[in-house]
Structure 1
Amino acid sequence: MLKRKKEKFNLRKQKGWLAGSSATQTICVSFLLVIAAGTLLLSLPIASKQGRLGLVDALFTATSATCVTGLVVRDTWTQFTFFGQAVLLLLIQVGGLGLVTLTSFFALAARRRMGFRDLRLLGESVSAEGLSKATEVLKIVIRLAATFEAMGAVLLMFALVPQFGPEGIWVSIFTAISAFCNAGFDLFGRFGAYSSVVPYVNNYYVQAVIMFMIMAGGLGFMVWVELGEYRKRRRLSLQARVVLEFSLILWVLGALLIGLMEWNNPATMGGLSVPGKIMASLFQSVSTRTAGMNTIDLEACGPVTKLWMSILQFIGAAPGSTGGGVKVTTIAVVILTIRSVAQGRDDCVIHEHHIESKTIYRALTIIMLGAVAALGSAVVVYYNSAEAVTVIDAIFESCSAFGTVGLSVGVTGQLNTGAKLLYMLVMFMGRVGPVSLAISLTAKPDDNKRKVMPVGHINVG
């Protein structure tokens, strides 16, 4: 009798709306819940140094932190108390790793048994290839994140503790976690509101540590696992090879083009030494992909530089990382598909591997949806503040929001309430992924049932 009651209880429990939802839907809902909690905490008087943050601004800041973007309507150090900064850091950490990842970790730590649906959800969250690997990948993700963040914090303390005293410990921890999670938030507003890392443009050590943290978070956890096992296995998966090759290409090409275009600009790099210009170019190339920290005045950059940086922001980091954007592998698949077609092939070939057509379709869909989100929001922002914002600045800021980067040329501070709400949606889409968000909103239980249809022929090109 007791067993039957328990079975009936479990059956009723499974009939809840979350039980009928997909893993993608649950992940999206988890982010929304974190944003709601963050909004409440940031709007408390104890979170602000003076007065309290308005509801819309608190919602915008919580969304930006949870989506590890970094766009702000109030300078972090100037606006928030230690409590507010701690809330932001918690949102950044949860957003960077994902709420599902963290809750699953604590469930395993408490030795709670995970069911099939829990494992499926976890696998989707940590980008595991199979359910059997989900718990193993989870432990690796937490271990790597803790290791990198602790390492970055200690390295930064050597520079920041002598400068700020005991407070430098907190600044180092905040900066390390923000950089690893590719969040873009900082506590350097004491040197001037929204100054980011500009005060350290001549401090190559601080820049190098932050760059390493950004790159570590942006490459993806499983790539680091494969690198750690390379001496034993002597091989890398196709995914890891593509991520490493195209990330390196974008870092070098990005630094080269940014350096060439801003080399003699007196408002950005013109006054720096040759090593300083090279370092600033490399830092901006690495950060622009998804981290949102800057050592030069971005508002003073030329329009072509801003356009190039917008492209880098749109591309973003690697899958399974703490960064956003359409992802570097998505761009790689599309570029290499174009190359394959130009060579007369009927399919995409990467390193002598055939890429399935569904992967190519997904890549094209991600890019198209992302472009609509970024350019569509840019149009709305431009026509709502045309007197103060140029077209290229609107595109730059919108790509920053979609790529969850956080770099700003001053547009975010001028947004009205409607534009802020639009950017929140764009940031959320960029963090969970445009296709994942679309699936979570439109997918139905019967969507996977295929219908037999006649083949259609359309001429293109």
Structure 2
Amino acid sequence: MQRKKFLLDPPKILVLGFASIILIGALFLTLPAATTNGQGLPFLNALFTATSATCVTGLVVVDTGTTFSVFGQVVILSMIQVGGLGFMTFATFFAFLLGKKISLKERILLQESLNNLSMEGIVRLAKRIIIFTAVIELLGALILSIRFSFDMPLKKAIYYGIFHSISNFNNAGFDLMGEFHSLTGYVDDPTVTLTVCSLIILGGIGFIVMNELYEYHVNRRVSLHTKIVLITSAILVIIGTIGIFFLEYSNQLTLKPLTLSGKILGSLFQSVTARTAGANTLSIGDLTQSSLLLMILLMFIGASPGSTGGGIKTTTFTTLIGAVWSQIRGKEDVIFYRQRIEYETIYKALTVTISGLFLVMLMTLILTITEKGHDFLTILFEVTSAFATVGLSMGLTPELSHIGKVLIMLTMFAGRVGPLTIAFAVTMRRNPDPFRYPKGKIMIG
């Protein structure tokens, strides 16, 4: 009995931990020093911004670059970093620096936070996550700073380079370019586009995959999980790029005025960023409805387990596709690379997907009632973006009512914390039922 009670604690602690970070961040953003006008942000807007930053979403009700002072922007950046890597990763890192031993309970919390299958080597993984993050963010900041230095003073370029590197590696999508423009001024710039895309992809594949790739020179093999993540991610990026390229090719407001290389870069960027990053080089409000629907699908699938991104995750999507394909072929087992996927995993994938769909549909339904004057696709896009912690917006977020802001906040929080909690809950050991009911038959399809 005591063991069961202990196992129920980690999800609660993670939820309370994220909630505490959001509340503390919101209080900081209400301080006069946090905004350029010296008045601080109203609490609801501060809470929304803190939720968006901690849940690494990027949806904003006020412009980050013009509303917040350097102090306010640093507070946001800190929440992005902690929210992206998980507060337990930071807690483990500081405990290691102080020479403290990591207890069993802390290891379980860390396992849950990283969505890892095993507790073996979990502390070593946490240490490497900090190292991977520092190296990748520093390289990204260096490249972006050099590029930005051609357009702005060096000091500002360095600051912008650091901010956008951290924001995009953590798949947050916050930017400092002013008035919700994001990176539209660099739509045909290969340096900015490819650097930011690389940061987003590395942050989105997951630290477990990153660690396996790092150890490949020793082990000379990768797990089934890593194979599925890499191949699915690549396929989704390619499909998204090709789809947006052709759907927007003749759109005068997006790709048509660009050169061929600009069209390709713009399409690639929007395909990658729809995988939970939130930055944009094309005006989202000017995209065709076909492109918006494609991006909604990409957002809902999202990044990979144990990453800084959200969504139902690439492995969940691939598992369901594999199950459907097996049914079509009349096969009983779902096979990937000559390995059978357990039925429990398929049930988990179905649970996460249906839960996500239910949340998105419920919030969309309510917002169609509370946010009068906005069409269905705009609301669906915004809710999916919030659930998948993407941050792309068609312009609805700044116009949300108080109720709408609360609903989007809840959606962002559920998208960041909910899937982790659900995943942990369904992996706990369950006592077998003392008896089984007789089989019943229902007709499907």
* Smaller-chain TM-score bracket: over 0.9
Matched, 1:254 2:237: no
Aligned amino acid, residue 396 of structure 1? F
In terms of mean alpha carbon deviation, does 414-423 or 162-171 score higher?
A: 162-171
**CA separation in 1, counterparts of 2:89 and 2:424?**
20
In terms of mean alpha carbon deviation, does 345-354 or 293-302 score higher?
A: 345-354
Matched, 1:429 2:414: yes
Aligned to 1:91: 79
Shift of 1:160: 1.3
Residues 125, 438 of structure 1: CA spacing in aligned structure 2 closer, same or farther, 3 A cutoff? closer
Shift of 1:226: 1.7
**CA separation in 1, counterparts of 2:63 and 2:414?**
24
Asked if the contact 2:188–2:261 (Cα under 8 Å) also holds between the matched residues in 1, the reply is no
From 145, 150, 170, the equivalent of 2:138 is: 150
Asked if the contact 2:352–2:422 (Cα under 8 Å) also holds between the matched residues in 1, the reply is no
From 291, 306, 320, the equivalent of 2:292 is: 306
Residues 435, 77 of structure 1: CA spacing in aligned structure 2 closer, same or farther, 3 A cutoff? closer
SS of alignment partner, residue 340 of structure 2: strand
Shift of 1:439: 7.2
1:193-272 matched pairs, under 5 angstroms:
193-272=179-258
Shift of 1:384: 1.9
**CA separation in 1, counterparts of 2:359 and 2:33?**
35
Shift of 1:414: 1.4
Aligned to 2:319: 333
CA deviation map 1:41-85 (0-9, x unaligned): 011111011122111100000000000000000000111000000
Shift of 1:458: 2.3
Residues 282, 200 of structure 1: CA spacing in aligned structure 2 closer, same or farther, 3 A cutoff? same
Aligned to 1:53: 41
CA deviation map 1:166-185 (0-9, x unaligned): 11111110000000000000
1:168-207 matched pairs, under 5 angstroms:
168-189=157-178, 193-207=179-193
CA deviation map 1:401-433 (0-9, x unaligned): 000000000111111111111111110111123
Asked if the contact 1:30–1:99 (Cα under 8 Å) also holds between the matched residues in 2, the reply is yes
**CA separation in 2, counterparts of 1:132 and 1:246?**
26
Aligned amino acid, residue 184 of structure 1? G
CA deviation map 1:356-382 (0-9, x unaligned): 111111101111110111122112222
**CA separation in 2, counterparts of 1:131 and 1:119?**
7
SS of alignment partner, residue 335 of structure 2: strand
Shift of 1:435: 6.3
Aligned to 2:11: 24
Shift of 1:129: 3.4
**CA separation in 2, counterparts of 1:109 and 1:435?**
27
Matched, 1:140 2:132: no
1:285-364 matched pairs, under 5 angstroms:
285-364=271-350
% same residue: 38
Asked if the contact 2:284–2:394 (Cα under 8 Å) also holds between the matched residues in 1, the reply is yes
Aligned amino acid, residue 182 of structure 1? N
Aligned to 1:11: none
**CA separation in 2, counterparts of 1:237 and 1:391?**
41
**CA separation in 2, counterparts of 1:417 and 1:116?**
42
SS of alignment partner, residue 396 of structure 1: helix
Normalised by the length of structure 1, the TM-score is 0.91
Asked if the contact 2:371–2:404 (Cα under 8 Å) also holds between the matched residues in 1, the reply is no
Normalised by the length of structure 2, the TM-score is 0.95
Aligned amino acid, residue 118 of structure 2? G
In terms of mean alpha carbon deviation, does 172-181 or 42-51 score higher?
A: 42-51
Aligned to 2:440: 457
1:28-43 matched pairs, under 5 angstroms:
28-43=15-30
CA deviation map 1:78-114 (0-9, x unaligned): 1100000000000000000001110111101111012
Shift of 1:231: 3.3
Shift of 1:385: 2.2
The size of the alignment, in residue pairs, is: 437
SS of alignment partner, residue 206 of structure 1: helix
**CA separation in 2, counterparts of 1:432 and 1:64?**
13
**CA separation in 1, counterparts of 2:234 and 2:201?**
10
Asked if the contact 2:55–2:80 (Cα under 8 Å) also holds between the matched residues in 1, the reply is yes
Matched, 1:391 2:376: yes
Aligned to 2:390: 405
Aligned to 1:415: 400
Aligned to 1:74: 62
Say what the alpha-carbon RMSD is for the aligned residues: 1.8
Gaps of at least 5 residues in structure 1 are 1-14
Aligned to 2:96: 108
Matched, 1:159 2:147: yes
Residues 314, 34 of structure 1: CA spacing in aligned structure 2 closer, same or farther, 3 A cutoff? same
Shift of 1:437: 5.4
Asked if the contact 1:28–1:437 (Cα under 8 Å) also holds between the matched residues in 2, the reply is no
